[in-house]
Amino acid sequence: MPPQPSSVRSSVETGSVIALVAALVLALIVVIPSSAFPFAATKTFLLAAGTLVTLALYILARLSRGNVIFPPIALVVALWLPALAYALSSAFSGIPFANAFWGTALEPDTFGFILAAAVLGTLAALALRRPEHYRLFLRAGAWLFGAIAVLEALTIIAGQFAPNTIPPTFSLIGSLEDLALFLGLGVAGVLITLRFLELAPRARRLLLVLGVIALAVLAVANSSFVWTLLALVSLGLFVEAVMRRRASSADADLDDAVVVSEMPSGADTGTRSLIAPLVVLAVSIFFFIGGTLGGALASAFHVNVLNVRPSWQSTLSIVRDVYASSPVLGSGPGTFGAAWLKHRDPSLNTTVFWNIDFTSGIGFIPTSFATTGLVGAVAWIAFLALFAVLGLRMLILRAPEDAFVRYVAILAFVATAYLAAAAVFDLPGTVILALLFVFAGLFASTMRYAARGGQWGILFARSPRLGFVIVFSLTLLLLASVAAAYTLVERYVAATELARADAAFSAGNLDAADSAVQGSLAFAPSASAYQTQAAVASARLSQIAASSTMSAAAAQQAFQAALSTGINAALTATRLAPDDYQNWLALGNLYAQAVPLKVSGAYDSAKTAYGKAQALNPTNPQIPYILAQLDIANKDTKAAEADLKAAVALKQDYTAAIFLLSQLEVQDGNVKDALASAEAAAYFTPNDPNILFQVGVLRAASNDLPGAEQALAGAVAANPQFANARYFLAAVYAKQGDMKNALAQMQAIAALSSDNAKAVAPQLSALGAGKDPFPRNLLSASTAPVQ
């Protein structure tokens, strides 16, 4: 018997629900164990692809049923306010639209991701219409939560025995913080389910076991923020459970009294609804207050992960500086990193995080305030305010009469509030942020069952003109989703090829890296790919310059070809992403390689590129240090000294700059200043053998032989294979008349290799006879080595 039209329509509609669930499940759990498939990008593109499939199936379901049905529309519209803000900022903030839409791989702070999240949330509101849809969604979520909790617990255990095979910090979801947020959400869901849903004893026991496992993993993950959220949720559920106990559970002393109760007669009278939230509340407070215990557990299980973010003060400072120049639309999606580098506090150079280029602020939504301006700030605040007002009004005054739907509404509301707090105070990954929109959409769907609520729709047959417009629009949207899917696949293939190129480049396989980056550019040209291509070309130039097998003509031809390819790639990168200082550094590095060869215009071009990088990142001491190296290659030591002093002014403990400055001062014969610079470098890095060697030689040149002995002995202790340090230490010993220790140092040099033994044979012979074999001017300023 052929299928009836109604059953076909129903199957298509159910297919859209299954596609929505499958998109979330796959995005959460799919991991491809290969560096060629970027972890975060794979999850994001799976999520976006699942969104497009769900959208296509939903459109087909609506076209087959001949109608479109909506829940109360206010919250659904609110879902689109952030996407609208991102659209306006992408179009009019002045950054390239492709960068604002895609970023590198659909990062959270891009228009493309926010658009996909808004579509996913809207589909949750429209496709999840019936209680059976809710059951399918929540059952899948429960099984997923249980599977991830068990797998992560097993991962931590297995990681103690085979950390090289599976590290204990591995997370299916993403970062360890994302895992903690997801498990915390799952525990909150378990508490709500135990409180508001009647379950079979077996199901109740299973949920309790999974909740305990999740709490154990959370204890090891050691996230104080998640413990705070769990404490608030469990506290709210505990208070609610106490308030809703029936009057019959009152104290026996009130048996003869008149008891006034406003609670419904069906409220829970038992204690089981009190115990679970009370236990979770106690555990959350325990680990939140006893943070050292959580840290000890994390250390014991080797899951210590440093989660570094800018502070609230730093984030708001960047927001203020961005608003000073672009208050309405901000700096543009995905540009917080550029704004951070341009406006960051120079005092950060005194911290261990001085060379970290932060791409986000303290939280996702505060980051969005900077990148989308006042428009984005108003959009996020309006979305969260509408959700809070409409949600609380429904749950307090218009709660659904059906117990199951009421439970779904409460769960969706708490989950949305939980994830919204995470978006404000933390930096969740794309999948966790997508869940924020999905649960907000699910809550919007339950509003159709609120008291005095309802849903409304449009029947195409009854409104031919309006129906024609809607059908035509849905058809266009269906075709657009197909085109978007094609573009999405192109972008993902480009991202995987770029990841493969980066992996090959890190391994030193330049041919494979060049081939992979060409493949990435063929699918979707990006500034990141061109930057990698420029880096490959720069590495080829270094190989050619160091080659001793190529003829002069072949080397010159290969050098010119690699230089031309690299410069063209770097120039293209600067055009695609002009606000990325790394692109300008890549361009400057390529020109700088031609400076020693006296290529006309190379120095000026490199200087210009580095200058633009410095304008984009003015407080980075590495850039003036690079400029100093360029000036040294151009034989301009005065300019190099000025650049090095500028680098040290930005970071007073920048030992590389201090050490190089001391070497230049030695070349100028200024031993006193050179020694001061070298000793300053040694103060900040007291165990660096090269710096200690420099200090020792300069002290010897200043006739401070005891000080030279101390520094050179420190260099030898830091690196026993340091033959030059042993040689000069032997000379210092000999000048002080200590032939025994001088002989010991020379014997140690001879023991390092047969070549060394032959080289120091005369000195060994002389020292054995009690004579000083070292030239008188060996330790003078004119012979102080410059490494």
**First CA to last CA distance, the chain:** 88
- Residue 571 pLDDT: 96
Residue 413 neighbours by CB under 8 Å, 6+ apart: 391, 395, 443
Measured in whole angstroms, the distance separating CA 18 from the mean position of its chain's CA atoms is 30
Q: What is the dihedral of CA 308, 314, 319, 325, to 10 degrees?
A: -120
Residue 40 neighbours by CB under 8 Å, 6+ apart: 105, 174, 429, 430
In order, the DSSP letters of 207-261 are: HHHHHHHHHHHHHHHT-HHHHHHHHHHHHHHHHHHHHTS-GGGS-GGGTTSPPP-
User: Are residues 85 and 379 in contact, defined by beta-carbon separation less than 8 angstroms?
Assistant: yes
Q: How open is the CA angle 101-104-109, to the nearest 5 degrees?
A: 55
Q: Tell me the sheet residues that pair with 458.
A: 68
User: Are residues 707 and 727 in contact, defined by beta-carbon separation less than 8 angstroms?
Assistant: no
- Provide the 3-class DSSP secondary structure of residue 528: helix
Secondary structure of 292-356 in HEC code, one letter for each residue: HHHHHHHHHCCCCCCCCCCCHHHHHHHHHHHHHHCCCCCCCCCCHHHHHHHHCCHHHHHCCCCCC
- Give the integer Cα–Cα distance in Å for 668 and 636: 12
CA atoms within 13 A on the CB side of 370: 27
Q: Is 320 exposed, middle or buried (0-12, 13-18, 19+ CB in 10 A)?
A: exposed
User: Are residues 70 and 527 in contact, defined by beta-carbon separation less than 8 angstroms?
Assistant: no
- Residue 644 pLDDT: 92
- Residue 375 pLDDT: 97
Give the pair of three-digit tokens for residue 416: 């949305």
Averaged pLDDT, groups of 10, the chain, 787 residues long: 48 85 93 82 93 92 85 93 97 92 91 96 94 94 95 92 86 91 96 91 93 94 92 92 61 47 44 80 88 78 84 94 95 95 90 88 96 97 96 92 94 97 95 96 94 79 80 88 91 93 91 94 94 94 84 86 94 95 95 88 94 95 95 91 91 82 78 80 83 85 86 91 89 89 90 85 86 72 38
- Give the integer Cα–Cα distance in Å for 480 and 607: 46
Cβ neighbours, 10 Å, residue 754 = 9
Q: How open is the CA angle 577-103-306, to the nearest 5 degrees?
A: 105
- Residue 778 pLDDT: 60
Cβ neighbours, 10 Å, residue 270 = 11
Write out the H or E segment, with its range, that includes residue 67: strand 67-70
Q: Tell me the sheet residues that pair with 457.
A: 69
The phi, psi pair for 13, rounded to 5°, reads -65, -45
Tell me the H-state helices in 30-96.
Answer: 39-65, 73-79, 81-92
The phi, psi pair for 459, rounded to 5°, reads -95, 120
Give the pair of three-digit tokens for residue 662: 């001391």
- Give the integer Cα–Cα distance in Å for 715 and 696: 9
Residue from 557, 510, 500 nearest 534 by CA: 510
The phi, psi pair for 545, rounded to 5°, reads -65, -30
Give the pair of three-digit tokens for residue 451: 């008291």
* Exposure class string for 461-483: b at 16+ Cβ within 10 A, else e: eeeeeebeebbeebeeebeebee
Tell me the one-letter amino acid at 469.
Answer: V
Residue 461 neighbours by CB under 8 Å, 6+ apart: 66, 467
- Residue 471 pLDDT: 84
Write out the H or E segment, with its range, that includes residue 516: helix 510-523
Q: What is the dihedral of CA 373, 379, 381, 385, to 10 degrees?
A: 170
Q: Tell me the sheet residues that pair with 69.
A: 457
- Residue 670 pLDDT: 78
Give the 3-state secondary structure percentages of the chain, helix then strand then coil, rounded to 5. 75, 0, 25
User: Are residues 509 and 479 in contact, defined by beta-carbon separation less than 8 angstroms?
Assistant: no
- Provide the 3-class DSSP secondary structure of residue 498: helix
- Give the integer Cα–Cα distance in Å for 208 and 196: 15
Measured in whole angstroms, the distance separating CA 405 from the mean position of its chain's CA atoms is 37
- Give the integer Cα–Cα distance in Å for 208 and 202: 10
Residue from 283, 303, 294, 365 nearest 176 by CA: 303
- Residue 783 pLDDT: 42
Handedness of CA 466, 471, 475, 481 (dihedral sign): positive
- Give the integer Cα–Cα distance in Å for 688 and 692: 6
Tell me the one-letter amino acid at 614.
Answer: Q
Query: pTM for the full model?
Result: 0.86
Residue 571 neighbours by CB under 8 Å, 6+ apart: 587
Cβ neighbours, 10 Å, residue 637 = 15
Measured in whole angstroms, the distance separating CA 717 from the mean position of its chain's CA atoms is 39
